[in-house]
Amino acid sequence: EVHTPLPDCFLNGITRQTVVQMLRDRGVNVIERHILPEEMEGFEQCWLTGTAAEVTPVGQIGDYTFEVGELTRDIAEAYEALVRA
């Protein structure tokens, strides 16, 4: 499953919406909720979405490190293929 912050303090942009739908289309449970910073300790993967960033893996936020795992690579490649088609 993928947890993503509620878009209450940032733009719920088309890139984010597209990636969320792509994940759901793949059967991934996407949970939109408030995420506390200390929760990141248990996260395995992390990425950012945006018009310029598209899908960008994140390796570290402060003391928390994340792997660039299969899901991150898959969704980044699938998004790139979609927008370049």
**Rounded mean pLDDT, 44-56:** 95
Q: With contact defined as beta carbons under 8 Å apart, do 55 and 79 qualify?
A: yes
Q: What whole-number percentage of the chain has pLDDT above 90? A: 96
What CATH number did the domain enclosing 25 receive? 3.20.10.10
Average pLDDT, the chain: 96
DSSP state of 70: H
- Band (pLDDT 50/70/90 cuts) for residue 85 is confident
Q: What pLDDT score does 25 carry?
A: 97
Q: How many CA atoms lie within 13 A of 49 on its CB side?
A: 22
CB 24 within 8 A of CB 30: yes
pLDDT for position 23:
98
Which domain covers residue 44, as residue numbers? 2-84
Domain count, the chain: 1
